[in-house]
Structure 1
Amino acid sequence: MRAMARALPSLLLRLLLTSTPGALGTNPGLVARITDKGLEYVAREGSVVLQRELLRITLPDFTGDFKIKPFGRGHFEFHSLSIHSCELRGSALTPLPGQGLSLTISDSFIRVQGEWKVRKAFVLLSPAADSKTRIQARLHGSFDVQVKGITISVNLVLGREPSGRPTVTAPGCSSHIRDVEVDISGDLGWLLNLFHNKIESRFRRVLESKICEMLQNSVTSDLQPYLQTLPVKTKIDSFAGIDYSLMEAPRATAQMLDVMFKGEIFNRDHYSPVSFLAPVMSLPEQYNRMVYFAISDYVFNTASMVYHEAGFLNFSITDDMVPPGSNIRLTTKSFRPFVPRLARLYPNMNLELQGAMASAPFLNFSPGNLSLTPLMEIEAFVLLPSSAKEPVFQLVVATNISAMLTFNTSKITGFLKPGKIQVELKESKVGVFNVELLEALLNYYILNTLYPKVNGKLAEGFPLPLLKDIRLYDPVLEIHKDFLFLGTNLQYVRA
């Protein structure tokens, strides 16, 4: 029993680590936080869409019978009903903790127009025959309905598909109309106005039902497909892509809506999981912008791994790449003054320097600062007359690099500022020598070839997870420990 008791904590730990393989890696690489300002903007834009949808509603005809003394019985029909104009006011979109969002529209107005017709039986007395004659009269006219004080409320439940795309449903809706005023014109308009309360009650029930039906249909047919435009896996270039799948359903709290994305850059040809985890990000409490993006170093460092593994940062320097006016050439003759043995063993031959990063250079985030400390390994080869390459020495090149990140309407871009390089001799088959003369050559190549290549790639940037037709503007960038914090406003660009 004692042995079992001692083994139990270890067993539980192993079970936790093995039975929940994603438990240790569930931190998002990127978080999009929509503030109350952002939700206000979305509500305004949404009300424009709903207003357009309301104008397309087909209202059903409705009929009824009436009996009014001394006119007797009759049958009325309202048809060709259409919403002529509408104005949705007071729209609000607020977080619904644990579910998603609550949409409310209040104090709105609709005007409905249409046609009416009445079939009325008139009874006439004939004095001569002392008899009665029944005459059927068919009369018609138009009507105008003013619908005031409309209030609509619907809960939008947000979820996540297995593919990582967002979902939305509207399981329940309620609408209320405060006042309906019907103005009926025509030959018997005055007659229909006698029981306008009944007609107005029917209009109220029809419109309340149709408004909710329209809104729920719009969520299914318009909003859900629109959410599907959020990119899940986006191409960056010929061999890299970014995974923006949702890690869970969007999380609503009292003041905001947080959307957690995986934010991992991957090799499009063969995906392999990275060996490190995204850090925990503590987002600042800021609400001046409509949306904030917290982009962890995980995103940038997975990119570094992909490009490093693809050999993007590898390079080769030969003598034909050295500037004509350089004091040092990549030939054994030029190396004679400081590596005499090299010139004796390989007289009048060309050299080639092959460089590669010792490991993927990771971007370091600290408050207000971005930096890298890449370590390069360079191997020198003699190009033999047989076209074979003979290794002769190895160098280690270290440098400190500062980085700048910038933003355009949809992408994060970057730029590296080079630091001074330090070169050390790691191994030599031609004796120990001073490498300072090589620093100038390597500095020239790195500044004029390698950095422009890397900065060209960084200038292409990587896209942020945005819905279709959304543009960002008025950005504010902050650098925090382990993540970049971008605040910006939204604009929906209508096609």
Structure 2
Amino acid sequence: ILLLGALRKSESTISSSSSSSSSNILCSAFTVKFETQKFVEEELSNITMPEMKGKEGRFQYTITDVKITELNLTHADLQFIPDVGLLFDVQNSSISLSFNRQILYWFFYDTGNINASAEDVNINTALNLIRDDEGRLKINNISCDAKINKMKAKFSGTVKRAFTDRSVFLSVSQICPALNHAALVHVNSMLETIPVRSEVDQFIGIDYSLIDDPVVTSRSLDMHFRGMFFALSHQNHTLVNYAVDPVIREYDRMVYLALSEFFFDSGMFAYYTAGIFQMDIVNEKMPKDLEMLLRTTYFGAIMMLNPALVDAPLSLQLAVNSPPKTSIKTSGATVVMTAIVKVMVLPPGQPPVQLSSMTMETKFNAKVSMKGKRLSVHADLRRFKIFSNQSALESLALIPLQAPLKTMLQISVVPLINNWTKRGVRIPLADGMDFIEEVVEYHNGFIVIGANLHFSKGLREMIKNTPHTIVPPARPWTHTYNAKF
């Protein structure tokens, strides 16, 4: 998630584009590389080593208080390696460190401080990403190759050459273990704090778990999330996915989020399962002109039932009778909803009496937007139709009710739906990272949202308060050191 598709762009776009938006994209990509480089520098700068002792023949040494005084990762790059993972590559860099020495060689005993430096430092670190048992992104393995071609050490004494070979080599050899610990412990601990199954509101939740391991290509990191809503009261009652799989072909922005029709249908299904799509419009909720029109329309039916009910309150009971269905085309997204509307008379102290039952068919335009970490939907009523469930003659009599019922929906029901959706759904992104410059594109069967990443916190700041648990690697990490003096 730290690098969530952060380099998803073509080289031709990087080299040839000169628009302001492309400049922002390049700047954002540079920010990801810079934050990653800064994180690595901070991890290496905080390397700590226990006291080291050794003996080879008549040569004995002790090394204490190792400190890195300067680290310069001048040429760092972040790349996607197909079938491997993410590669952080450092070339032609330098590192300076200091430590205390105690040396005994034959009869010569030497102590003091050493300032050492290594030039032409090359660090090649690859991270393999997987889906864990809970469907969360996890660093499974890290391979590290560190090479140092030039070393220098400044101190006075009689055994400079022999000790330099050992002490500087042992100190720099901590680079790979430090990066290994940073990835498998610190970063994995932060990834564990990102929820893959969480509540949206008091009615529904969402499942963001990965359905398979991430796929790394030469241009992108692709992750397939479940993206399914569920009713909190019936968490195992879910919708079957028959939607087309989204396809992402764009590379102009850093991150692309593709949402199929199933994503929205499962949300509607979850609300429907939770019993939210029901409403009783009565008393102060009933518009006065609509109430008067209902009384006029059903005056004869009321008189035939009981003339004493003429002045009794009326109500409209709306209940969606099937899960709403989403349709996404290049022209936009629509939601079709069908409900049963019952006209009821409410005599005081007596059971309600049904005057009529009708079917209401509605179609809404749905506008999808994303801001920061939240995805939201705004609905507008596009089409409205009612017809009687009892007779064709009554359907003709309902024609005068079309306009006032549509107005009532626009005033009462649509704002209620938008009130549920305006808070939005949080996208599973770590605290300290946000989406910016969002663009929404509609395709046949799915929506693609492109965005760049903004860091409000450094990577180290994001994880510094995360409780760390040692996570053993699935396979042993490897390291290679090649030092020339």
Q: Normalization by structure 1: what TM-score?
A: 0.79
For structure 1, which segment, 246-255 or 82-91, has the greater mean C-alpha deviation from structure 2 after superposition? 82-91
Which residues in structure 2 correspond to 1:6-155 (within 5 Å)? 33-36=5-8, 41-59=31-49, 78-117=63-102, 140-155=111-126
Aligned to 1:305: 269
> Equivalent residue of 2:193, what SS?
coil
How far apart are residue 74 of structure 1 and its match?
8.8
Give distance in 2, aligned partners of 1:387 and 1:149.
91
Selected match of 2:147 from 156, 176, 199: 176
For structure 1, which segment, 46-55 or 236-245, has the greater mean C-alpha deviation from structure 2 after superposition? 46-55
Bigger-Rg structure (1/2): 1
Give distance in 2, aligned partners of 1:61 and 1:345.
97
Give distance in 1, aligned partners of 2:446 and 2:121.
45
Aligned to 1:342: 302
Give distance in 1, aligned partners of 2:29 and 2:184.
20
CA spacing shift, 1:310–1:60, aligned 2, 3 Å: closer
For structure 1, which segment, 108-117 or 401-410, has the greater mean C-alpha deviation from structure 2 after superposition? 108-117
Whether 1:362 aligns to 2:347 is no
**Aligned residue identity for 2:328:** F
Q: Which runs of no fewer than 5 residues in structure 2 stay unpaired?
A: 10-27, 462-485
How far apart are residue 120 of structure 1 and its match?
8.4
CA spacing shift, 1:42–1:166, aligned 2, 3 Å: same
Whether 1:248 aligns to 2:248 is no
**Aligned residue identity for 1:79:** T
> Equivalent residue of 2:365, what SS?
strand
Contact 1:335 1:342 in 2 (8 A): no
CA spacing shift, 1:183–1:360, aligned 2, 3 Å: same
How far apart are residue 302 of structure 1 and its match?
0.4
How far apart are residue 245 of structure 1 and its match?
0.9
Contact 1:85 1:112 in 2 (8 A): yes
If asked which structure has higher relative contact order (CA below 8 Å, sep 6+), I would say 2
Aligned to 1:291: 255
CA spacing shift, 1:197–1:462, aligned 2, 3 Å: same
How far apart are residue 405 of structure 1 and its match?
0.9
Q: Which runs of no fewer than 5 residues in structure 1 stay unpaired?
A: 1-31, 68-72, 122-135
Aligned to 2:229: 265
CA spacing shift, 1:60–1:147, aligned 2, 3 Å: farther
CA spacing shift, 1:269–1:91, aligned 2, 3 Å: farther
Contact 1:367 1:480 in 2 (8 A): yes
Which residues in structure 2 correspond to 1:231-242 (within 5 Å)? 231-242=195-206
Whether 1:444 aligns to 2:404 is no
**Aligned residue identity for 1:274:** T
Give distance in 1, aligned partners of 2:87 and 2:294.
73
Selected match of 2:240 from 276, 284, 290: 276
Whether 1:161 aligns to 2:132 is yes
Contact 1:342 1:430 in 2 (8 A): no
Give distance in 2, aligned partners of 1:359 and 1:143.
77
Contact 1:244 1:263 in 2 (8 A): yes
Give distance in 1, aligned partners of 2:216 and 2:56.
52
Whether 1:479 aligns to 2:479 is no
Whether 1:407 aligns to 2:370 is yes
For structure 1, which segment, 223-232 or 419-428, has the greater mean C-alpha deviation from structure 2 after superposition? 419-428
Which residues in structure 2 correspond to 1:318-329 (within 5 Å)? 318-324=282-288, 326=289, 328-329=291-292
> Equivalent residue of 1:172, what SS?
strand
Give distance in 1, aligned partners of 2:114 and 2:168.
15
CA spacing shift, 1:432–1:242, aligned 2, 3 Å: closer
Which residues in structure 2 correspond to 1:193-204 (within 5 Å)? 196-204=160-168
Contact 1:158 1:168 in 2 (8 A): yes
Give distance in 1, aligned partners of 2:321 and 2:56.
91
Give distance in 1, aligned partners of 2:53 and 2:281.
89
**Aligned residue identity for 2:300:** P
> Equivalent residue of 2:404, what SS?
helix
Deviations 1:238-263 (A, max 9, x none): 12110011111111112111111111
Deviations 1:450-491 (A, max 9, x none): 111101111011111213332111111101111110111112
Q: Normalization by structure 2: what TM-score?
A: 0.81
**Aligned residue identity for 1:442:** L
Contact 2:234 2:274 in 1 (8 A): no
Deviations 1:122-166 (A, max 9, x none): xxxxxxxxxxxxxx8866443321211211122212222221122
**Aligned residue identity for 2:173:** S
Give distance in 2, aligned partners of 1:295 and 1:431.
42
> Equivalent residue of 1:261, what SS?
coil
CA spacing shift, 1:359–1:95, aligned 2, 3 Å: same
CA spacing shift, 1:319–1:138, aligned 2, 3 Å: closer
Contact 1:39 1:94 in 2 (8 A): no
Q: How large is the RMSD of aligned CA atoms in angstroms? A: 3.0
How far apart are residue 411 of structure 1 and its match?
1.0
How far apart are residue 271 of structure 1 and its match?
1.9
Deviations 1:372-396 (A, max 9, x none): 2222220112223442112221112
Identity of aligned residues (%): 22
Give distance in 1, aligned partners of 2:396 and 2:331.
41
Give distance in 1, aligned partners of 2:161 and 2:303.
109
Contact 1:319 1:329 in 2 (8 A): no
Contact 2:246 2:260 in 1 (8 A): no
Give distance in 2, aligned partners of 1:215 and 1:422.
63
Give distance in 1, aligned partners of 2:402 and 2:283.
15
Give distance in 2, aligned partners of 1:303 and 1:117.
68
Give distance in 1, aligned partners of 2:269 and 2:54.
74
> Equivalent residue of 1:391, what SS?
strand
Contact 1:393 1:430 in 2 (8 A): no
> Equivalent residue of 2:297, what SS?
coil
